[in-house]
Each structure stands twice: as C-alpha cells, then as structure tokens.
Structure 1
Amino acid sequence: MKLTVALLCAAVLTTASACRKKPAPAPVAPQAPAGAAPSGNEAQTADSNASVLTLMLQEYVAKNGRVPKDVSELSSITTYGAVPKPPAGYVFTIDPVQKQVRAVKQ
C-alpha cells in the first residue's frame, strides 16, 4: 500500500512539474533600424511617398495660398507626419500646374 501511494505521488509530481514547462520562444526576424530606408522596390516606395507629399502639398496650398518652392517647405504641415525622404536614386519635384509631387529617378 505504501508503495502504491509513493508511486502515485511520484507520478503526480512528475506530471505537475511538466505542466509548468514553457515552450521555447519563436525566433524573431531581424528588423531594419528605425532610420533606415525601407528595402525592396524603390520605385514603389518613391510613388507612395510622392502620394503622401501630394496630400501635404494640397494642404499647404490651402493654408498659404501658394505652391511651395520645394518639398522641404512642406515640413510645416504635420497632419501626415514628417516629410518623407526619397529613396536612393530618386528626387521629389513639385508640379505647380497640377499641384502634385512627383518622384523622378535621377
């Protein structure tokens, strides 16, 4: 009888301790630093940033009544965050007639 109780206690303690084991954490994929330019398709990134800049340009024109000389003047518009930087190999130009920002490959 004592042997049965001892075996039962050993079995309970073994299974109870196994329940507390945590699975190994999943590996985390490395991420680019916060200030780094996004990797991938630069043309798509340039067009996306130009779209945001066009919205900022339209708000700038509505507030100031004029088209800015260059993209850096859009920094006063904070609705959409900071003025995005062009990806490598691109520059942003302002089309004053259509009031749009375009990404131009250098």
Structure 2
Amino acid sequence: MFCKGASVSGPFWDHVLDYWKQSLEKPGKVLFLKYEGMKEKSGFHLKLLTEFVGCPISPEEGRSGLVEEILGLCSFDNLRNIDVNKYGRGRIVGYKAFFSER
C-alpha cells in the first residue's frame, strides 16, 4: 500500500523523485543520498555530508580517525543502545521500533 501511495504524506515515490530533481537543479541546496551508497562507502558519504553543511573534515581530522569515530557513534548498534532509544516513546510508537532487527 505504501508503494502505491497509500500513506499519510502522499505518494512516497513522487516525493523522492521531486527531491532528486531538486538536487540536480540546486546541488548547493539539496543533497540527495542513497541508502545503498551510504552503506557501501560510509566514510565518503560522511565527508560529502560534512562538506554540504559547511563543516568539512580536515585532512588532519581524517588522519586522526574522526571519520571512523563519527561512523561508530552513528551506527545502529550504538544508537539502539542509547537509553532514550530503548525506553523513549514518540506519539505513536516507541523509538525502539526504529532499531529492531529483522
């Protein structure tokens, strides 16, 4: 149903396509990342993201292991073990639902 557009925010694929088009027209305003690419080249995409938001990682920071440290902090294993994500609740579901294993 979701892929057919039956969702609260409307057709998902239309939103994705609009953002992709905007990223081509306004690359300085919209950064379009794909999950698969982020999984395959996490360090590359992290550097791309930091440059996009205006806080690039310096060569010295890169050599000191900052990229790996950030990736570790952002990992699902780390995030799923933070108390707010274990026990906190949003309006509809507990945050833990976003970190469950399949």
TM-score in terms of structure 2 length: 0.25
Which one has the bigger strand percentage?
1
TM-score in terms of structure 1 length: 0.24
